[in-house]
Amino acid sequence: MKRVIRILISLGMIIGTVMFVAKFLRPVPVEHRPAPPQAMNTVQTAPVKPHEGGIDFTVDGQVIPYRALDIAPEVSGIVKFKSEKARAGKFVRKGETLLEIDPVDYELSVRQLTEETAQAQASIHEMEVQIESSKKEIDISKSQLEIKERELARYESVKTPGVYSASELDTVRTSVLNGRESLVKQENALRLYEQQLIRLKSVHAQKETNLEQAKLNLKRTKIVAPIDGVVKSHNFEVNTYVQKGTVVASILDTSKLEIQCFLHMKQMSWLWASSANSENAESSDEPAMRGFDFAPTDATVYYELDGQRWSWKGRLTTSDSGSLDPKTRMMLCRVTIDDPTDVQFDSYVIHTTDTSLGTVDKEALEKEKKAKKTPLIQTPPPTLLAGMYVTIVVHAKPEIPLYSAPEQALLPGNKIWTATDGTLREYRIRVATVTDEGVIFYADSQGVTATDKVVISPLASPAEGDKVNVL
């Protein structure tokens, strides 16, 4: 009985608790109010502009000699003279004598061949006199033969017997035959003399050739610098024997210089695009050549020294090979500087960690730079030497349409936002390059045109189609 009562009491408490909660702890209904209108963002924009100035890109390069010439004597002998400039590191001018081989043997050879040539000429003259005399003798023999033949004709024309004897007729006939035989011998001798004259002239020509060679060898005993340049190395001294064809010195050409640099394939594509409509472009029927050549492209070479930057004009002329470098996956190219002495002062270079200039007034330097492009201190310009590392700015002019916009408009992922008509639009562009003037991109970037305005101010959670206020 007690157990039943306890169960009933428990059930009553549970029911009471449920009724209390249902009545007094009921949630208050939430009143749904309309959201307030969201304020429009205000953005700053800049126009998209057609880019007409081409593409300038910067690469690093190393100066290399334009060419190195090995000097080898063309005759052998003992070195009699050596120039003081014929040493490594010395600058020589074209035509300066580097060394001289003892010429005594070659002078004797010239004198000997000169005499032999004169003798051959005298023999020719003697033979010409002999031929002239033989021709005159032949003319006389022909005249005598004609007289004898007329006499024979008179004897034979007489028909009356007893006027002359048979022995007299035979005597006349024998005289005619002897005259003919003598004439034949003289003509044969003349032909022999003419052949001998040809042989003597050939011998004389050979002697003259040998004499010219001897004179040339005598001239070659003096070895001169073939170009203006710097002696890279030498391996001869006075009183040493040098062999014909053995390299005795090497000269680096300083009239021109070349700079090796590596270009990415993207940069190479700009050069190939620059060559598409150039006068030097390959014809369309030779497509295999277009990937290996491009039109010469202007470039500016810079070198920094003691806080000053100097520049040279150059041309990116050709690739150094027809393949990519296996390590860098880049194309090795060459920049040619036609006149290394044509150096111009470009600007001052002030680095925060550069203490070589001491305490300087940077503002004063900038004012001086804008006023005139000459150094405050007239220091001699640097000379480009093989092995120097320089900076190259290539001025490519690809024949492709390009647009430019401020760099602030470019977002990660090569995205930009436009607000041309007050509505945000997102575009992904194909970036060509980024310069100090801004981002340069291809004109086929999903319909972006020069009439659009790009957003250059920060955006907080932008969405496609949002309305914005444009400054």
Cα atoms in the Cβ-side hemisphere of radius 13 Å centred on 364: 5
Q: Which of 386, 250, 333 is nearest to 59 (CA)?
A: 333
Task: Report helix, strand or coil for 182.
Answer: helix
The pLDDT of residue 52: 84
Task: Of 206-210, 226-230, 305-309, give the range with the top mean pLDDT.
Answer: 206-210
What's the CA gap between 150 and 142, in Å, rounded? 12
Reported as a single tens digit per residue, the pLDDT across 236-293 is 999 999 999 999 999 999 888 999 999 988 888 888 887 655 554 444 444 444 556 7
**Two tokens, residue 309:** 């930057």
Q: Which of 176, 169, 168 is nearest to 149 (CA)?
A: 176
Task: Of 173-177, 249-253, 395-399, give the range with the top mean pLDDT.
Answer: 249-253
Residues contacting 415, CB < 8 A, separation 6+: 426, 427, 428, 429
Q: Which of 330, 209, 225, 355 is nearest to 267 (CA)?
A: 330
Instruction: Please give the C-alpha separations between residue 89 and each of 68, 256, 305, in angstroms, as whole numbers.
Output: 14, 17, 22
What's the CA gap between 269 and 266, in Å, rounded? 5
Backbone angles phi, psi at 34, to 5 degrees: -65, 140
Work out the average pLDDT over 120-127. Answer: 94
- By CB atoms closer than 10 A (0-12, 13-18, 19+), residue 299 is buried
Q: Which of 94, 71, 98, 95 is nearest to 85 (CA)?
A: 98
What's the CA gap between 414 and 225, in Å, rounded? 57
CB atoms inside a 10 Å sphere around CB 78: 13
Instruction: Please give the C-alpha separations between residue 63 and each of 230, 375, 443, in angstroms, as whole numbers.
Output: 15, 24, 37
Confidence of residue 358 (pLDDT cuts 50, 70, 90): very low
- Residue 446's region, left for phi above 0, alpha for psi from -120 to 50, else beta, is left
The pLDDT of residue 195: 93
Instruction: Please give the C-alpha separations between residue 396 and each of 58, 206, 471, in angstroms, as whole numbers.
Output: 11, 60, 35
Q: Which of 88, 434, 10 is nearest to 249 (CA)?
A: 88
The pLDDT of residue 369: 54
Return the amino acid letter for 209: T
What's the CA gap between 122 and 21, in Å, rounded? 151
pLDDT at 208 over 90: yes
**Two tokens, residue 366:** 């900038």
**Mean pLDDT, all residues of the chain:** 83
- Of 45-49, 146-150, 288-292, least confident by mean pLDDT is 288-292
